[in-house]
Amino acid sequence: MAQPQPLSWQQELSEAAERWLVAIAATAELQALRQVEVESLGKKGEITGLTRRLATLPNEDKRAYGAAVGELKTRIEQAISTQRTTLEDLVITQELADTSFDVTLPPAPGRPGHVHPLSQVQADVERVFETMGFHVLDCPEVESEFDNFEALNIPGWHPAREMQDTFWLQAPEGQGRQLLRTHTSAGQVRAMHQFAPPFRAIFPGKVYRYEATDASHEHTFHQVEGLMIDRHVSVGHLLDSMRTLLSAILRRDVQVRLRPGYFPFVEPGFELDISCQVCAGAGCSVCKQSGWLELLPCGLVHPQVLRMGGLDPNEWQGWAFGLGLSRLVMMRFGVPDVRLLLSGDARFLGQF
Ligand code: PHE
């Protein structure tokens, strides 16, 4: 019977590799892995011992043996490092599992923002007028006294100024007085200078007034101005445009009526009422039993305003309206207090 041969150094190294790689993979805790590291690669560890053995080998074996031991050491180092990452991840997962936090749950639903009700209705108004060939203009909120008042036939002494006091600004010397516009009508003469007649435009935006606030008054609110300049413009054009607009916005057929109204920049001037959307014209507390709601002032552009805009009133006429956008939003969504609209209250805004 053949004597068992002593292992060659090649066999010995491959056996050691096998053994340590299995031992490393078998560790279940960082502490145990550290122990394996000491026993294999530590100062008195087996692999370190194998490295030292180089000196005792015959010269012709030294180079091959050195390379093989080096390779073995690298494999073990890499295996330890990989296993360390695995065990560390395990520790983190374990810590998370110990808290009441479930990492496998889907994320909590976010609260995506949405379009403000004022902007929703404004976009609807813009869409309706765009289909009728109107430009949509963005006019400045800081206005000159001229554009806001004088160009509109409201000189400094005019009693109509009293109804629309506002926030005045300190303008640089020699620039005339500036203010936060009290109405979008301030854009009328600007538009006449911007476009050659005939033209149609609306200009929506914020306006400001010095108001005692209550459920139906706010110091900052939204209007949409409409202006059409053409030859032979009549009240009939105005009425039909208004009916088209309101039916589209309120999404039902509405009746409109005109009452005389005074504004220095229109002649004749009107208050346009719509049939009450709450009682369908039968009479209720919202419309004070009249069946009608006052919605927007309008009229034919005053010849003096046309002149201010550089137009000859004998050639050109126009109509204008000033729609209370805030009020329209309140009617569309049944908002009881105008102050809610700009309150920034998420409980209110979350409903739209
Ligand atoms: N600018 C006026 C206001 O805010 C409304 C208006 C606009 C009246 C256009 C007539 C024509 O009260």
Question: How far does residue 200's CA lie from ligand 1's centre (Å)?
Answer: 17
Residue nearest to atom 4 of ligand 1 (CA): 183
Whether 352 and 333 have beta carbons less than 8 Å apart is answered as yes
Question: How far does residue 302's CA lie from ligand 1's centre (Å)?
Answer: 12
Detail the DSSP E strand segments found in the chain. 135-136, 142-144, 168-169, 178-180, 199-208, 220-230, 256-260, 266-275, 292-301, 317-324
pLDDT score, position 208? 96
Give 34's pLDDT tier (boundaries 50, 70, 90): very high
Among 55-64, 100-109, 224-233, 315-324, the range scoring the smallest mean pLDDT is 100-109
- Tokens linked to 48: 């370190």
Per-chain mean pLDDT for the chain? 90
Give 61's pLDDT tier (boundaries 50, 70, 90): confident
For the chain, what are the domain ranges? 9-95, 117-141+180-349
Residues 130-144 have a mean pLDDT of 95
Give the residue, out of 147, 185, 300, with the most ligand 1 atoms within 8 A of its beta carbon, to mutate for a pocket test.
185
Residues 66-83 have a mean pLDDT of 93
Question: How far does residue 297's CA lie from ligand 1's centre (Å)?
Answer: 5
Q: What is the DSSP letter of 186?
A: G
pLDDT(10) > 70: yes
pLDDT score, position 305? 97
Nearest to 133 by CA among 42, 65, 231, 226: 226
pLDDT(1) > 70: no
Residue nearest to atom 9 of ligand 1 (CA): 321
pLDDT score, position 185? 97
Alpha-carbon distance of 64 to 47, in angstroms, equals 16
Measured in degrees and rounded to the nearest 5, phi and psi for residue 250 equal -85, -5
Question: How far does residue 183's CA lie from ligand 1's centre (Å)?
Answer: 7
Give 337's pLDDT tier (boundaries 50, 70, 90): confident
pLDDT(2) > 70: no
Q: What is the DSSP letter of 214?
A: B
Give the residue, out of 265, 296, 304, with the most ligand 1 atoms within 8 A of its beta carbon, to mutate for a pocket test.
265
Q: Which is the closest atom of ligand 1 to the Cα of 324?
A: 4
More confident residue, 96 or 150: 150
CB pairs under 8 A, 24+ apart, for 234-242? 234/300, 234/317, 235/268, 235/270, 235/300, 235/319, 237/319, 238/298, 238/299, 238/300, 238/319, 238/321, 241/132, 241/319, 242/272, 242/296, 242/298, 242/321
More confident residue, 63 or 4: 63
Q: Which is the closest atom of ligand 1 to the Cα of 297?
A: 8
Q: Which is the closest atom of ligand 1 to the Cα of 207?
A: 4
Give 308's pLDDT tier (boundaries 50, 70, 90): very high
Question: How far does residue 177's CA lie from ligand 1's centre (Å)?
Answer: 21
pLDDT(48) > 70: yes
Question: How far does residue 135's CA lie from ligand 1's centre (Å)?
Answer: 19
Alpha-carbon distance of 264 to 154, in angstroms, equals 6
pLDDT score, position 93? 85
Measured in degrees and rounded to the nearest 5, phi and psi for residue 207 equal -130, 160
Kindly report the three-state secondary structure assignment for every residue of 227-283.
Answer: EEEECCCCHHHHHHHHHHHHHHHHCCCCCEEEEECCCCCEEEEEEEEEECCCCCCCC
pLDDT score, position 175? 81
pTM passes above 0.75: no
CATH class, range 117-141+180-349 = alpha beta
Three-class SS of residue 156?
A: coil
Q: Which is the closest atom of ligand 1 to the Cα of 163?
A: 12
Three-class SS of residue 4?
A: coil
More confident residue, 124 or 280: 124
Give 207's pLDDT tier (boundaries 50, 70, 90): very high
Question: How far does residue 318's CA lie from ligand 1's centre (Å)?
Answer: 14
Whether 300 and 319 have beta carbons less than 8 Å apart is answered as yes
Question: How far does residue 269's CA lie from ligand 1's centre (Å)?
Answer: 9
Residue nearest to atom 7 of ligand 1 (CA): 322
At 230, the amino acid letter reads D
pLDDT score, position 279? 79
Measured in degrees and rounded to the nearest 5, phi and psi for residue 30 equal -60, -40
Q: Which single residue is written with the structure tokens 């810590």?
A: 95
Residues 105-134 have a mean pLDDT of 90
Give 112's pLDDT tier (boundaries 50, 70, 90): confident
More confident residue, 57 or 116: 116
Q: Which residues on neighbouring strands pair with residue 322, listed in sequence order? A: 225
Ligand 1 pocket list (CB less than 6 A):
183, 185, 263, 266, 269, 297-299, 320-322
pLDDT score, position 321? 96
pLDDT score, position 281? 81
Question: How far does residue 225's CA lie from ligand 1's centre (Å)?
Answer: 8
Q: What is the DSSP letter of 209?
A: -
